[in-house]
Structure 1
Amino acid sequence: MKKLIIVFALPALLMTGCGKSFFDINSNPDVPTTTSITPDLILPAAMARTGIITTNNATNNSFATLGAWMGYWAVGTNYGAVTENRYSMTTDFGNPNWVNNYDIIFDYHTMQQKAEASGQDFYAGIAKIMKSLHYQILVDLFSNVPYSKAMDVKKNITPGYDKGEDIYKDLLKQITDGMDLIKNADASKNIGLTTADIMFHGNKTQWARFGNTLKLRLLIHMSQVAGFNPATEIAAITAEGNGFLTAGQTASVNPGYTNDKPNPYWTAYAFALSGNYSQDYRRANNFALNLMKGLNDERHKYFYRPVRGGTFAGQYRGIDFGLNNDPAHIYTETNLSDIGGSPTIAGGTSGLAKSATMDSWVLTAFESYFLQAEAVARGWMTGNAKTLYEEGVRESFRWLGVPNDVATANTYLGNADARIAWPAATADQIKVIIWQKYFAFNGNNHLEAWSDHRRTGVVQPSISIDAGRLTDHVPTRYLYATSEFSYNAANVQKEGTIDPYTATVFWDR
């Protein structure tokens, strides 16, 4: 943890134009100091970085690899035997996720401290909620992680590890505390809030709905834990009264993306500033593509692009995951569908990569509906699980910009296939919800798709056909980061030897 603590605050400051360390104390009025960095300066940069994490940006995390493992993405045969085809995992694999998530947590933690000291409760509440989101990501990747002492940088630069289940329990409390701070805050005392809050612009109701939806995600993750009872938390969510994110209310951030300073997802998976395609590596995986085509699911045209040219021009065409031997050269990158779904550099309103100026999503409204549907199906909440499920499907079509989204989604929902049609038995209802979450998460939330796979086993993506694969199933967790073995060796070694193919996070089935 020592190295992380040293660099935690730098990215937010760099994004505001400062190259000095957060801990430098000086009198230059043009250079931020510990006293001049205020919550309104920290928040937009931190939120922008949250958006980079949650949109699967390949340069900042390894969720792109999860896209391959979960059957969404693959690579052409011209790349040969790549490591992800073999389920290869080292301590370097998770290092970007470890570093970046703790980095952002420290930014929010710093903002919280400054907000508490200055009586800006809205900012403090936001910090508690956003820190909880990133800790949830860390637990879901690594299981036990530094938590209770992780931000105590003055007293403990080598913090011990907390159990994942204990962290989850406290995150539920932290989210509630954050929501209460926001609800009771005098917004006028929170300087620059509507501008700095690039997600909800100071809207208390939306922050409450986001908090409730995030809590429900945590509870659903724990659904398979023996003896787990969510009744108290569900009652608290119900009593809070604002409900969950609903149609058109996807939590997303936009710090002011332009064609010259574009959304990172756009530049990673669609087009570079030069106007050239920026992604030749990630292609359509036959598992998800063929399933969706077979189910007449129009969304495949918005998750993927038609082949650009050549023999297969205009076709939506994928590759079997792990295919290396291709004597006819018909599965090279130019013969396969791009990912992202946006056809031209001009952008538009449809697909995953809509335009250079699009928002970065943090928590989608369709996920909210699916979480609610599962909670109702499990008997945790009152409501109509079928209606919530169907609204989740419709919202996925709407969010992607599918033309005539409601009518097209309704036609799709009329399909009698067991992965679409609403069944009578509770166990089957949960299965169909998981299947539709799986389809909806294509390219936009590989971590949650992997989490659903681990906790339910409903969706079993095709296993890599690479002869050199190290296992016959999708890995179950990440190895601890390289940086921890360098700077916090004693504590990480206490966690024992981790086998990423058999070890599980605490909520895994």
Structure 2
Amino acid sequence: MKNKKLYILAILAIAFSSCNKELDEVNINPNAPEIPQPDYLLTGTTKATVDSYWGVTNNMNSSLLFAQHWAKVQYTEEDRFIYSNSSFTALWSTGYAQSIAGFNKIIELSDAQGNSNYKGVALVLRSWTFLLLTDAYGDIPYSQAGKIKQFVTPAYDKQKDVYYGILNDLKSAQAALDPAGPVIVGDVIYNNKIASWKKFANALRLRIALRIADRDPAKAKQVIDEVQAEGGAYISSNSENAILKYDVSPQQNPVAASFETRNDYRISKTIVDKLISLNDPRLPIYASKTENAPQGYVGIPNGSTNSEASAIGLANSSKPGAYFLDAKAPAVIFSYAELLFDRAEAAARGFTTEDAEDLYKQAIRASFLQYNIGGTAVEDYIKQSGVVYNAANYKKSIGEQKWIALFGQGLEAWTERRRLDYPQLTASVNTVLNGQIPVRFIYPGTEQSLNGQNYKNAVSNQGADLLTTKLWFDAF
């Protein structure tokens, strides 16, 4: 009887195994590849990253407010810096779970398939992602990030080490990128043009060199010298801007998507007043006229209470300009204007022998041309006393004009203002940080529960997990 039972169990086991095998075969989609394709991964991961960078949480509801490019006309709590430890999860979760994981997979596939150009592009985009993360939070998981099989709870690297690590990654990207090498597809930034990716990689190296310039000027100069020694080129025109072009719904710009259903945001009074004082022809690009007569450009003061903003009114205040509200408006990752401002600053610091004033003027021209403003308007603008380059205070000249040129790029504008300390912005008395403007994002609350010891180590090294704790790069 015992042997008979075992025989029956054996028959059932074989039948069940056969059934499982048949089910496995049935469940295989013949149209879906077993191995992810780098082109699809590149498209999807790039878009997810840029959407987060340009979207509501990281741009409209935080950094654009901190930079006083935008303000809130309704539900003004964020404009008064009232946040919780769940307010800044989007950049962290997207950056690690989607962006870095996706770019790491592309690097793995490129090595397996022998296409170094996929690897180079993924390294550039992963470097940019890490840069966004460390600029916002400070110390972050870097060396152990994205290696889930090895490090379930990755350690945090110091911000200095993250910057230096990214610089090495970008050098590796330069070595991997070969315009004469294998072709790639799926590139929604540069349409598979490898030469443009090499220029973008160098632009990021220059950006990071200036990030560390107040802390380690020798290293900053070394980075710039290395790019020059390699014969590396930078972005050289607006046609080479690193941008993601959007389309009509459902592939529209995240800003446009938000305004389809909400009406919380207006342009800040700070930048409206600045543009008006300089008779800046970018004003009608950056801002819309009010709906009510007399129509004009009216910004909302940052940090207004709900009642104060309501008293000004939706129809009596300016939305961002139609250019930025268009479904197809591009998300700008790195512009030619920024590159020229960076070169001007590098020259002003003595890192290069270029003409800082001339590069500063070129940067302003490039910003105007980015919005198709040409002719005498730019030359008249540059001659104004409030715009003329001041070599004795290059941080003020470059900082103020760069802040204007970076309009809409909240994370970058906020970081540059923290670094250069210009323009000098004032927090509203209604804010909750005793007159201070946030200088970092606080870590997501989930880090305390899921990666607690490493979180505590980071706070011990960097300082309290507060909006007001200065990061390593922010020296002054």
Fold shared per TM-score above 0.5: yes
Distance change (3 Å), C-alpha of 1:406 and 1:268 = farther
Q: Which moved more, 1:234-243 or 1:434-443?
A: 234-243
Q: Distance in 2 between matches of 1:424 and 1:494?
A: 42
Q: Which amino acid aligns with 1:442?
A: F
- Structure 2 equivalent of residue 10 of structure 1: none
Q: C-alpha distance in 2, partners of 1:328/1:303?
A: 20
Question: For structure 1, which runs of at least 5 residues remain unmatched after alignment?
Answer: 1-24, 273-277, 343-350
Change (3 A) 1:397 1:363: same
- Is residue 437–residue 468 contact of structure 2 (8 Å, CA) maintained in 1? no
* Preserved contact between residue 202 and residue 227 of structure 2 (Cα < 8 Å): yes
Q: Does 1:439 align with 2:418?
A: no
Query: What secondary structure, in the 3-state scheme, does the structure 2 residue paired with 1:68 have?
Result: helix
- Once the two structures are superposed, what CA deviation does each residue of 1:456-480 show, in whole Å capped at 9, x if it has no partner? 22222231231x5232111121211
Query: 1:93: Cα distance to partner?
Result: 1.9
Is 1:74 aligned to 2:71, yes or no?
yes
Aligned residues: 445
Q: Residue 92 in 1 paired to residue 108 in 2?
A: no
Any residues of structure 2 matched to 1:43-442 within 5 Å, and which? 43-54=42-53, 56-58=54-56, 61-62=58-59, 64-76=61-73, 79=74, 82-102=76-96, 103-183=98-178, 186-187=181-182, 190=183, 193=184, 195-225=185-215, 228-248=218-238, 249-254=240-245, 257-258=247-248, 261-269=251-259, 272=260, 278-308=261-291, 310-312=292-294, 314-324=295-305, 330-339=311-320, 341-342=321-322, 351-353=323-325, 355-402=326-373, 405-417=374-386, 420-425=387-392, 428-442=393-407
Query: Are the aligned partners of 1:285 and 1:320 in contact in 2 as well (CA < 8 Å)?
Result: yes
CA distance, structure 1, for counterparts of residue 371 and residue 122 of structure 2: 30
Per-residue deviation, 1:222 = 0.9
Shift of 1:262: 2.3
Q: Distance in 1 between matches of 2:142 and 2:255?
A: 29
Shift of 1:429: 2.2
User: Does 2:30 align with 1:29?
Assistant: yes
Structure 1's 329 and 43: CA in aligned 2 closer, same or farther, altered over 3 A? closer
Deviations 1:269-309 (A, max 9, x none): 4xx3xxxxx5521112111111110111111211110012x
Q: CA deviation at 1:198?
A: 1.6
Larger Rg: 2
Residues 380-412 of structure 1: CA deviation (Å, up to 9, x unaligned): 11212112111111111111233xx24222111
For residues 263 and 320 of structure 1, do their structure 2 counterparts lie closer, same or farther at Cα, with a shift above 3 Å needed? closer
Query: Could you tell me whether the CA contact under 8 Å between 2:190 and 2:197 is conserved in 1?
Result: yes
Which residue type is aligned with residue 29 of structure 1? P
Q: Give the equivalent residue in structure 1 for 2:414.
A: 450
Give the helix-richer structure, 1 or 2: 2
Which stretch of structure 1 is more off in the superposition, 321-330 or 434-443? Answer: 321-330
Q: CA 1:31–1:229 in 2, change beyond 3 Å: closer, same or farther?
A: closer
Contact 2:289 2:296 in 1 (8 A): yes
Runs of 4+ in 1 over 6 A off after TM superposition: none
> Aligned with 2:263: secondary structure?
coil
- Which of 456, 462, 468 is the equivalent residue of 1:493? 456
TM-score, normalised with respect to structure 2: 0.88
Q: 1:475 to 1:261 in 2, by over 3 A?
A: closer
Q: CA deviation at 1:247?
A: 2.0
Shift of 1:266: 2.7
State the superposition RMSD in angstroms: 2.3
Q: Give, in whole Å, the separation in 2 of the partners of 1:300 and 1:242.
A: 35
Contact in 1 for aligned 2:298/2:317 (Cα 8 Å): yes
Identical positions, percent: 25
Opposite residue 421 of structure 2, the aligned amino acid is G
Distance 1:110 1:325 in 2: 46
* Counterpart contact for 1:471–1:501, Cα < 8 Å: no
Write out per-residue CA displacement over residues 307-354 of structure 1, whole angstroms, 9 at most, x where no aligned residue.
12x344x21111222223758964122210001x11xxxxxxxx334x
Q: What code does the residue aligned with 1:370 have?
A: F
Specify the code of the residue in structure 1 equivalent to 2:50. Answer: G
What is the aligned counterpart of 2:443 among 457, 480, 484? 480
Per-residue deviation, 1:369 = 0.9
Question: 1:369 touches 1:392 (CA, 8 Å); kept in 2?
Answer: yes
SS at match of 1:334: coil
| 1:362 counterpart SS class | strand
* Change in 2 beyond 3 A, CA 1:481/1:260: closer
Tell me, yes or no, if the aligned pair for 2:426 and 2:435 is still in contact at 8 Å. Answer: no
- Structure 2 regions of 5+ residues with no counterpart? 1-25
Task: Decide whether aligned partners of structure 1 residues 325 and 171 sit closer, same or farther in structure 2, where only a CA change above 3 A counts.
Answer: closer
TM-score (norm 1): 0.82
* Contact in 1 for aligned 2:138/2:471 (Cα 8 Å): yes
Q: C-alpha displacement at 1:230, in angstroms?
A: 2.1
Contact 1:89 1:500 in 2 (8 A): no
Paired letter, 1:396: S
CA contact (8 A) 1:50 1:362 kept: no
Deviation at 1:451, TM superposition (A): 1.5
Q: Residues of 1 paired with 2:249 and 2:444: CA distance?
A: 35
Question: Structure 1 residues 242 and 253, CA, compared in 2 at 3 Å: closer, same or farther?
Answer: same
